[in-house]
Structure 1
Amino acid sequence: MVEWHFSPKEPYSFEATIRRLVRFDKMLYRYRNGLLYRTLWLKDRPVTICLEWEAGQIRVQAEESLSEQECEILKGTIRRMFSLDVELQPFYDCMKKEPDLAPIIESRRGLHLVLDPTLYECLIKTIISQQLNLSFAGKLVHRLVKFAGDSLVFQGEELPVFPAPDQVARLNVEDLQKLSFNRRKAEYVIDLSRDIVEGKLDLDSLKQLPNEEVIERLVALRGVGRWTVECILLFGMGRTNLLPAADIGLRNALKKVYGLNHQPTEAEVRQWGERWSPWRSYVTFYLWDYLSNG
């Protein structure tokens, strides 16, 4: 077993961050008695990590035997996933000038984005979620993981492992249709997985590119629109100044905040968003949380 302690940039609320995470990803994350755990891919094998908040730090344990190189990779993944190096005080200072938004932001002080561990997982979950409500999208993700993925046993409990690209690439459309995927979405999921396996699509090569270039490259792929790429930039890469202005949830939240009698247009959202830079991703994220929790 290996163990590390991480000190996140303050303010950081592990409780608020985990509460939202577990609510919307009950399948891949498990939370028991103050311990959060899930499986992650480490190069070509899955491992289980366990996280706990302890005296202002996040304590992380992994039961597997890991090499020094694997430890460094895993530590980097955890820091990125849980946004441990994102300092939100400048965000809170910036939002004090927004009287309608400031109370919503302040009441969620310390809430951080948790990123998907790989861009592949983020891409597939986002493709599945297109034009679906969160509940049904979650069911489809669950079915895909159970059907195509493996599992690990941790402290007597079987934990699912999100499938690797080659595991999904081996499927056919009919396999996913049996899981209630429509044919077109099944094709997108399988074809993108095959592109990755065959080396036609390298998601990691996009990490250093600016937002608009990532959008330009990915929307050229079948089944990938701007909203999908914006979600990847947000929940896969952790870009802090992303504004998915066409998102229905964001627009509904703004309608509620500003007491409008109509849903704001994409253009109106972008106009407001100019005032939120360089923290538009976190404004969006906090508004989504506000819409789902009030």
Structure 2
Amino acid sequence: MVVLQLEPVQPYSFEATTRRLAHFEKTAYQFREGFFYRTLHLKDRPLVVGIGWDGAQILVRAEEELSEADRQCLKGMIRRMFSLDVELGPFYEQMKKEPRLAPIFESRRGLHFVLDPTLYECLIKTIISQQLNLAFAATLIERLIERAGEKIPFREEWLPVFPTPSQVAGLEYEDLQRLQFNRRKAEYVIDISRKIVAGELDLEGMKTLPDQLAIDQLVSLRGVGRWTAECLLLFGMGRSDLLPAADIGLRNALKKAYGLDQQPTEADVRQWGENWTPWRSYATFYLWDYLSGS
């Protein structure tokens, strides 16, 4: 067994950051003996890792021996996924100027994004989740993984591995329809996977693009609207200054926070959000967390 130690930039709350994993990411993460376990593709091979906390730093546990190169690769993946290098001190200082919102943000001090390990996984899960409740979306994601992915042994059980673009590209639309995907969503998921395999779509290359240019390229894909593109930049890339002003959840959270009689408009949200730059992503994330009551 290999145990890696990763120190986050403070303030960092592992408890607050991982609380959402237990509630909303049950398909990807399994909680065992104080560690959140999931499978990752490490240099094109699947690996089970556990992520825990010793009170001061992240502990990353791998059941198999790793080369030094693999250790460094895994450290980089976990630092990115758990936002260990994001310094939120300036965010809290800036939000002190928002009297209605400051208590909401301060009570969640140290809460960070947990990103998906690849942009492909994030995009496919987001497309599946479009216009569905969380429970049914999770069911469809689990069915896709079961149908197209593989499983690897972990102690006395087998853990699922999110499928690769090649594995999904090999499916037919009817394969997903039999799993209760509607026809259009089956086409979106498989066609995007086929574009990646054919070299027509480079998701990882979009990491270097400015926000709006990345969004413009994403919405040109069939099945990807602005909401889906913004979710990819938020939960896949960890961009800090996105404002999905049309999102109903965000607008409902602001209605609750400001004690309004009706939901604010998209224009209202954009106007308020000007005061949150360059931290609009985190303001949105904290307000979603506030609305969910988690």
**1:32-91 Cα deviation digits (max 9, x unpaired):** 221111000112211011111113011111122333222222111110000000011111
SS of the equivalent of 1:207 reads helix
Report 1:1-294 matches (<5 A). Answer: 1-293=1-293
- Could you tell me which runs of 5 or more consecutive residues in structure 1 were left unpaired when the two chains were aligned: none
**Could you state the TM-score of these two structures normalised by the residue count of structure 2?**
0.97
- The answer as to whether partners of 1:127 and 1:224 remain within 8 angstroms in 2 is yes
Q: How far did residue 218 of structure 1 move?
A: 1.0
Q: CA separation in 2, counterparts of 1:227 and 1:27?
A: 22
CA distance in 2, matches of 1:241, 1:154: 38
Residue deviations 1:187-243 (CA, integer Å, cap 9, x gap): 000000000011100111110110001011111111111111100000000001111
CA distance in 2, matches of 1:64, 1:242: 38
Residue 118 of structure 1 aligns to which amino acid in structure 2? T
Structure 1 contact 250–287 (Cα < 8 Å) conserved: yes
> C-alpha distance in 2, partners of 1:173/1:261?
45
The answer on whether the counterparts of 2:152 and 2:158 sit within 8 Å (CA) in structure 1 is yes
Does the CA contact (< 8 Å) of 2:6 and 2:75 recur in 1? no
1:40/1:161 contact within 8 Å kept: yes
Q: CA RMSD in A?
A: 1.1
Task: Find the aligned partners of 1:135 and 1:273 in 2 and give their Cα distance.
Answer: 30
Asked if structure 1 preserves the Cα contact closer than 8 Å seen for 2:82 and 2:113, the reply is yes
SS in 2 for 1:151: strand
**Distance in 2 between residues matched to 1:277 and 1:132, nearest whole Å:** 30
Cα displacement (A) at 1:19: 1.1
**Equivalent pair of 1:28/1:159 in contact (CA under 8 Å):** no
Q: Which 10-residue stretch deviates more, 190-199 or 32-41?
A: 32-41
Q: Secondary structure of 1:36's match?
A: strand
Output the amino acid matched with 1:107.
S
Paired letter, 2:166: D
Using the TM superposition, give the Cα deviation of residue 2 of structure 1 relative to its aligned residue in structure 2, in angstroms: 2.2
Question: Which amino acid letter does the alignment assign opposite residue 227 of structure 2?
Answer: W
Q: TM-score, normalised by structure 1?
A: 0.97
Instruction: Give the 4+ runs in structure 1 shifted more than 4 A.
Output: none
Q: 2 CA distance for matches of 1:19 and 1:205?
A: 31
Specify the SS of the correspondent of 2:208.
Answer: coil
Equivalent residues of 2:2, 2:63 under 8 A apart: yes
CA contact (8 A) 1:251 1:265 kept: yes
After TM superposition, the structure 1 stretch with the greater mean CA deviation from structure 2, 190-199 or 39-48, is: 39-48
Mapped to 1, the partners of 2:33 and 2:246 lie a distance apart of 39
> Are the aligned partners of 2:243 and 2:280 in contact in 1 as well (CA < 8 Å)?
yes
Unaligned runs of 5+ in 2: none
Shift of 1:247: 0.9
Shift of 1:149: 0.9
Report how far residue 157 of structure 1 moved: 2.6
Which amino acid in the other structure matches residue 134 of structure 1?
L
| Farther off after superposition, 112-121 or 172-181 | 172-181
What secondary structure sits across from 1:113 in the alignment? coil
Other structure's SS at 1:252 match = helix
Q: For residues 282 and 241 of structure 2, what CA distance do their matches in structure 1 show?
A: 8
